[in-house]
């Protein structure tokens, strides 16, 4: 029987990041399977998981230095930032959100260190689903309707309209651009608030699916520039939720269109992390989430799930734990050989860039994963 793995969980040091990569429940599961779990002291505080909860689950509380130097696999939520680069080392498996196609210094730091870097966001099933991104889209979609409803209130600069209306008063109108995971989740919260909801989508198959699961409670309309122009003038709240995989978001709402919108209406551009689908959108933060252009409130928080760390931490770790267990039980080599979705998550290994889009983004050499696996230190188990 193979021995257990030593799994560390580092505290997030990025501004406004309160999530942790493992819950006490997850720690307990790993301990029960014979692994050793090291939690950096106070790492769970931001998600309301004190050190004592992890100790009760069978984990050890350790220092910053120890969590990085003693772990065989290190779990994080966000990518390492500059002060952490010096801690990257050969022999360590790092499992976290990386987004390195947009971060050349980190790509080089990972490659130079010899670490095995596995990115949550590129774990991809054969049918193209992204199981470790989906939970954050669910959270962001649900926040979108909630935040939009809030900023429609008059003292907050909004039109002064209750999305759900009351008996005898019409509800507000919510227009959702893109009916994927974010769009669907935004729709069910908006419906729950009592709003009248329209989703503009480009994929007919997706619209058929939404028609089935929402049982006709929303209007589903083919997305086109003409349609957006006409729908936007009636909307009280517009939610931008489009995604074109691997590309920047298309600018579906132009500055010209804002002139047609009602004064005090609200745009929540969830796609802001891909550049935004609204021409006038720029990233904002939870501490300063909105600004106004042409009388329209813009909410463009780039890390919406970060505002609800208790929910986001649990949702994220529900999705990551099965993969953590696979790596811990079999070692990275056998785990990626057995699971092609997990194999797509490996971005950097033994100094080589093994994820093609990352190599292309920085003009670096791409090496297919299979070519590295035979010689890589991490794979000699």
Ligand X SMILES: NC(=O)c1ccc[n+]([C@@H]2O[C@H](COP(=O)([O-])OP(=O)(O)OC[C@H]3O[C@@H](n4cnc5c(N)ncnc54)[C@H](O)[C@@H]3O)[C@@H](O)[C@H]2O)c1
Q: According to CB under 6 A, which one of 243, 258, 290, 324 is a site residue for ligand X?
A: 243
> Binders of ligand X among 145-184, rule CB under 6 A?
177-183
Contact status: 341 vs ligand X (CB under 6 A): no
Known catalytic membership, residue 273: yes
**SS3 state of residue 175:** strand
Selected binder of ligand X within 13, 244, 292, 357 (CB under 6 A): 244
d(CA 140, CA 359): 29
Residue 209 C-beta: closest distance to ligand X, Å: 9
* Residue whose CB is less far from ligand X, 180 or 289: 180
Site for ligand X in 202-221 (CB under 6 A): 202-203, 206
The smaller minimum CB distance to ligand X, of residues 44 and 178, is found at 178
Task: Mention every residue, 6+ apart, whose C-beta is less than 8 A from residue 208.
Answer: none
Asked if 352 and 374 count as a contact pair (C-beta separation under 8 A), the reply is no
The region of 49-57, 64-72, 151-159, 298-306 touching ligand X under the rule CB under 6 A is 298-306
Q: Which residues pair with 176 in a beta bridge?
A: 199, 239
- Of 269, 273, 339, 350, the catalytic one is 273
Nearest distance in Å: CB 74, ligand X: 24
The single residue of 16, 53, 66, 99 carrying the catalytic annotation is 99
Residues 6 or more apart in contact with residue 45 via CB below 8 angstroms: none
Among residues 62 and 271, whose Cβ is nearest to ligand X? 271
Are the beta carbons of 190 and 296 closer than 8 angstroms? no
231 Cβ contact partners less than 8 Å away, ≥ 6 residues apart: 175, 198, 200, 221
CB-CB contact of 30 with 327 (8 Å): no
Is residue 362 flagged as an active site residue? no
What's the maximum distance between 2 C-alpha atoms anywhere in the chain? 72
Least gap, CB of 184 to ligand X (angstroms): 8
Which residue lies nearer to ligand X by CB, 70 or 202?
202
Span of 2-10, 21-29, 93-101, 300-308 interacting with ligand X by CB under 6 A: 300-308
DSSP state of 35: -
The number of residues that bind ligand X (CB under 6 A) is: 32
Helical axes 24-32 vs 309-338, angle rounded to 10°:
30
Q: How far apart are CA 41 and CA 39, in angstroms?
A: 6
29 touching ligand X, by CB under 6 A: no
Distance of CA 146 to the CA centre of its chain: 18
Q: What is the CA radius of gyration of the chain?
A: 22
How near is the Cβ of 350 to ligand X at its closest, in Å?
30
What is the number of other CB atoms lying within 10 angstroms of the CB of residue 338?
11
Stretch that binds ligand X, among 154-162, 200-208, 284-292, 314-322 (CB under 6 A): 200-208
What's the DSSP call for residue 163?
T
Burial letters 218-229, b for 16+ CB under 10 A, else e? bebbebeeeebe
**Spatial distance between the Cα atoms of 201 and 198, rounded to a whole number of angstroms:** 10
Interaction residues for ligand X, span 246-275 (CB under 6 A): 249-250, 252, 270-274
Dist. CA 119–CA 79, nearest whole Å: 9
What is the x/- site pattern for ligand X, positions 110-139, by CB under 6 A? --------------------------xx--
Contact range with ligand X by CB under 6 A, out of 72-80, 115-123, 189-197, 301-309? 301-309
Q: Which stretch binds ligand X (CB under 6 A): 26-34, 199-207, 343-351, 355-363?
A: 199-207
241 scored as a contact of ligand X (CB under 6 A): yes
Residue list 221-240, contact with ligand X (CB under 6 A):
223
Kindly tell me which of 242 and 332 has the beta carbon lying closer to ligand X.
242
> Residue 8 or residue 141: which is nearer to ligand X going by CB?
141
CB 41 within 8 A of CB 61: yes
Residues within the interface to ligand X (CB under 6 A): 136-137, 140, 177-183, 200-203, 206, 223, 241-244, 249-250, 252, 270-274, 302-305
Q: List active site positions.
A: 99, 273
């Amino acid at each position: 029987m193979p021995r257990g793995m030593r799994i560390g969980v580092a505290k997030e040091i990025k501004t406004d990041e309160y999530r942790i990569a493992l819950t006490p429940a997850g720690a307990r599961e790993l301990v029960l399977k014979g692994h050793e779990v090291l939690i950096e002291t106070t790492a769970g505080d931001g998600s309301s998981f004190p050190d004592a909860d992890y100790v009760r689950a069978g984990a050890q509380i350790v220092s910053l230095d120890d969590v990085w130097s003693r772990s065989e696999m290190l779990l994080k939520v966000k990518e390492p930032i500059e002060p952490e680069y010096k801690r990257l080392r050969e022999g360590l498996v790092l499992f976290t959100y990386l987004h390195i196609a947009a971060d050349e210094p980190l790509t080089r730091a990972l490659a130079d260190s010899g670490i095995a870097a596995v990115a949550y966001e590129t774990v991809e099933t054969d049918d193209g689903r992204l199981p470790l991104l989906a939970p954050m889209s669910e959270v962001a979609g649900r926040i979108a309707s909630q935040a939009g409803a809030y900023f429609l209130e008059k003292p907050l600069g909004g039109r002064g309209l209750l999305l759900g209306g009351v008996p005898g008063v019409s509800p507000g109108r919510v227009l959702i651009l893109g009916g994927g995971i974010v769009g669907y989740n935004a729709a069910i919260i908006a419906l729950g608030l009592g709003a009248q909801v329209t989703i503009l989508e480009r994929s007919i198959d997706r619209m058929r699916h939404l028609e089935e699961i929402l049982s006709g409670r929303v209007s589903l309309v083919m997305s086109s520039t003409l349609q957006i122009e006409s729908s936007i003038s009636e909307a009280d709240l517009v939610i931008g939720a489009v995604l074109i995989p691997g590309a920047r978001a298309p600018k579906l709402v132009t500055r010209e269109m804002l002139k047609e919108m009602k004064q005090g209406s609200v745009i929540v551009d969830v796609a802001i992390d891909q550049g935004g689908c609204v021409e006038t959108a720029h990233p904002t933060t939870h501490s300063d989430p909105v600004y106004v252009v042409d009388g329209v409130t813009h909410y463009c928080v780039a890390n919406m799930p970060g505002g609800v760390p208790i929910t986001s931490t649990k949702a994220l770790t529900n999705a990551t734990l099965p993969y953590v267990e696979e790596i811990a039980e079999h070692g990275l080599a056998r785990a990626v050989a057995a699971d092609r979705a997990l194999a797509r998550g490996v971005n950097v290994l033994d100094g080589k860039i093994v994820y093609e889009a990352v190599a292309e983004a920085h003009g670096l050499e791409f090496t297919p994963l299979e070519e590295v696996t035979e010689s890589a230190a991490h794979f000699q188990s």
